[in-house]
């Protein structure tokens, strides 16, 4: 069996290719069968006079998404998509497909999401998920090349990682357990063991918001570095993001083209990224007539306004304490704020990274846990890190779907995860 991606090297050879029927066009004397095998797409040409009656009958009855094995000879042909095609001599049905639900016409998005298990085969969905896979590989390569040790963190936890508002709770043999909102507290614990660590996995937030940027289950990579301060943290983030974008440009050219992504918007993504403090951002928003009260977290509208000031991703740093999570280190120069940053991507993609220097003082951290009304008992082990050799450290979380959504230019991140979990969707 040959793969479509190898056909350019097999000109004039007889091959068999197995895959799924993307489309069939039958004319009086010739039929065109477009076959997709997961490595590429090839057009098969069936000449009625050159095949048996049975083969012609079978070809004319082929249906969309039937799985077939096609035998034929590879021909170079400048007019064919990809520069080559298959002169078909025989066809065998592997698995028939009757009345495939997704037709080459406009379908509503709910219909497509209901058929996500089939929708995955469509060209734009394939392209988006291919870019996702490449970005995920780039994430691991970047961190591996820089001596980060991957730490797999638990999904079932007793400690609230971010905030009490968006928890999925479950009964754990009589105890309260939550699905992890983050692996951060656990990677922090692994820092003294390995210095540079990261986790990569699904995280869960019972977000009541139905927006194009929120999933209830999303994937996050969370690096954590001992002895890094907030500035070092941003420098690492910018190198990380540039690496991913470069990788997508280098290896996902055909996919970005299928998605109609303007490459120049990605080519301008080079370090350093602009850095603007929360205070400066609020001043500028107000100066531009967008009234915004100091102390609130930035919303999607403000994020888009801010990112439109720049041609590449922008760091907004040092947010007010009350807008951010309990574990962030107080800013010694302005104790109303914490040493943290969000990274806002261009083109309306919004926040793709949230990061911070961590509170490394035991008593301050305990006070923050109490202020937030978090269950103190669940954090005994986390507080231990500040008792037994505490150390300055920083880290961040990058949301995979939001990042891939931005790189591919897709408006809704639900298309960048194979099986999206949304407020109203658990199937398929
Ligand atoms: O800003 P967040 O909440 O930060 C954390 O979870 C930290 N514990 C990370 C760390 O410092 N180790 O989330 C990080 C990123 C966001 O910037 C966003 O990209 C993504 O996770 N994210 C979501 N993506 C999709 N759907 C949601 N509901 C998301 N919530 C956060
Ligand atoms: Mg955030």
Does ligand 1 come within 6 angstroms of the Cβ of 324? no
Kindly indicate the confidence band of residue 117, based on its pLDDT and cuts at 50, 70 and 90.
Answer: very high
Mean pLDDT score, 17-21:
98
pLDDT for residue 335 is more than 90: yes
**Which ligand is in closest contact with the Cα of 356?**
1
Ligand 1 centroid to Cα of residue 324, in Å, is 12
Q: What is the pLDDT of residue 164?
A: 85
pLDDT digits (tens, 9 = 90+) for 227-242: 999 999 999 999 999 9
**Average pLDDT for the chain:** 97
Report d(CA 173, CA 161) in Å as an integer.
21
Calculate mean pLDDT across residues 263-270: 97
pLDDT digits (tens, 9 = 90+) for 30-83: 999 999 999 999 999 999 999 999 999 999 999 999 999 999 999 999 888 788
pLDDT of res. 161: 86
pLDDT(163) > 90: no
218 pocket-lining for ligand 1 (C-beta < 6 Å): yes
Pocket probe for ligand 1: among 178, 185, 402, the residue whose CB has the most ligand atoms within 8 Å is 402
Query: What pLDDT, on a 0 to 100 scale, did the predictor assign at position 418?
Result: 98
Q: What is the mean pLDDT of residues 102-121?
A: 96
Q: Quick one: what percent of the chain has pLDDT higher than 70?
A: 100
Residue 84: band (very low, low, confident or very high) from pLDDT cuts 50, 70, 90: very high
| Closest CA to ligand 1's atom 1 | 354
Lowest-confidence segment of 151-155, 161-165, 192-196, 396-400 by average pLDDT: 161-165
Residues 6+ apart with CB under 8 A from 199: 150, 151, 152, 153, 183, 184, 186, 187, 221, 222
Q: pTM, whole model, 2 decimals?
A: 0.97
Task: Determine whether the shortest distance from the Cβ of 182 to ligand 1 is under 6 A.
Answer: yes
Whether 303 is in the pocket of ligand 1, judged by its Cβ within 6 Å, is no
Lowest mean pLDDT among 206-210, 273-277, 280-284: 206-210
Whether pLDDT at 114 is above 90:
yes
Mean pLDDT within 407-424: 96
pLDDT classification of 338: cutoffs 50, 70, 90: very high
Residue 216 Cα: closest atom of ligand 1: 28
Residue with CA closest to ligand 1 atom 21: 399
Residues, CB-to-ion distance under 5 Å, ligand 2: 354
- Cα of 15 from ligand 2 centre, angstroms: 52
302 C-alpha to center of ligand 2: Å?
14
Protein residue closest via CA to atom 29 of ligand 1:
214
351 lines ligand 1 (CB under 6 A): yes
Range 16-25 average pLDDT: 97
**pLDDT score of 193:** 98
Q: How far is the CA of 356 from the centre of ligand 1 (A)?
A: 12
Distance of CA 389 to the CA centre of its chain: 36
pLDDT number for residue 208: 86
Tell me what pLDDT residue 79 has. Answer: 87
Split at pLDDT 50, 70, 90, the class of 203 is very high
Ligand 2 centroid, distance to 283 Cα (angstroms): 21
Confidence of residue 279 (pLDDT cuts 50, 70, 90): very high
Residue 82: predicted pLDDT: 81
Residue 392 has pLDDT above 90, yes or no: yes
């Amino acid at each position: 069996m040959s793969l479509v991606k190898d056909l350019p090297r097999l000109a004039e050879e007889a091959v068999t290719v197995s895959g799924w029927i993307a489309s069939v066009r039958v004319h009086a004397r010739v039929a065109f069968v477009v076959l997709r095998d997961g490595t590429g797409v090839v057009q098969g040409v069936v000449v009625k006079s050159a095949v048996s009656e049975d083969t012609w009958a079978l070809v004319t009855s082929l249906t969309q998404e039937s799985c077939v094995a096609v035998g034929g000879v590879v021909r170079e042909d400048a007019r064919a998509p990809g520069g080559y095609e298959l002169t078909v001599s025989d066809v065998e049905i592997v698995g028939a497909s009757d009345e495939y639900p997704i037709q080459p016409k406009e379908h509503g998005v709910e219909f497509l999401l209901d058929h996500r298990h089939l929708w995955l085969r469509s060209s734009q969905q394939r392209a988006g998920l291919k870019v996702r896979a490449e970005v995920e590989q780039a994430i691991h390569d970047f961190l591996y090349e820089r001596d980060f040790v991957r730490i797999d963190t638990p999904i079932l936890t007793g400690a609230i990682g971010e905030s009490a508002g968006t928890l999925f709770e479950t009964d754990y043999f009589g105890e309260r357990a939550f699905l992890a909102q983050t692996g951060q507290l656990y990677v922090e614990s692994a820092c003294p063991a390995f210095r540079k660590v990261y986790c990569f996995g699904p995280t869960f937030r019972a977000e009541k918001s139905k927006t194009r940027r929120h999933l209830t289950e999303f994937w996050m990579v969370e690096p954590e570095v001992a002895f890094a301060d907030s500035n070092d943290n941003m420098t690492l983030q910018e190198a990380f993001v540039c690496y991913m974008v470069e990788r997508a440009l280098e290896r996902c050219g055909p996919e970005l083209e299928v998605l109609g992504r303007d490459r120049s918007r990605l080519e301008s993504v080079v370090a350093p990224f602009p850095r603007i403090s929360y205070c400066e951002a609020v001043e500028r928003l107000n100066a531009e007539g967008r009234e915004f009260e100091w102390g609130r977290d930035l919303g999607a509208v403000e994020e888009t306004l801010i990112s439109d000031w720049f041609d590449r991703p922008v760091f907004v740093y040092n947010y007010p304490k009350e807008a951010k999570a309990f574990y962030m280190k107080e800013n010694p120069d302005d104790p109303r704020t914490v040493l943290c940053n969000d990274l806002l991507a261009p083109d309306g993609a919004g926040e793709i990274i949230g990061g911070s220097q961590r509170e490394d003082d035991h008593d301050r951290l305990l006070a923050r846990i109490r202020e937030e009304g978090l269950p103190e008992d669940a954090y005994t082990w986390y507080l231990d890190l500040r008792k037994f050799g505490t150390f300055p450290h920083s880290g961040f979380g990058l949301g995979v779907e939001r990042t891939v959504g931005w790189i591919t230019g897709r408006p809704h991140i639900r298309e960048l995860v194979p099986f999206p979990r949304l407020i109203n969707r658990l199937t398929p």
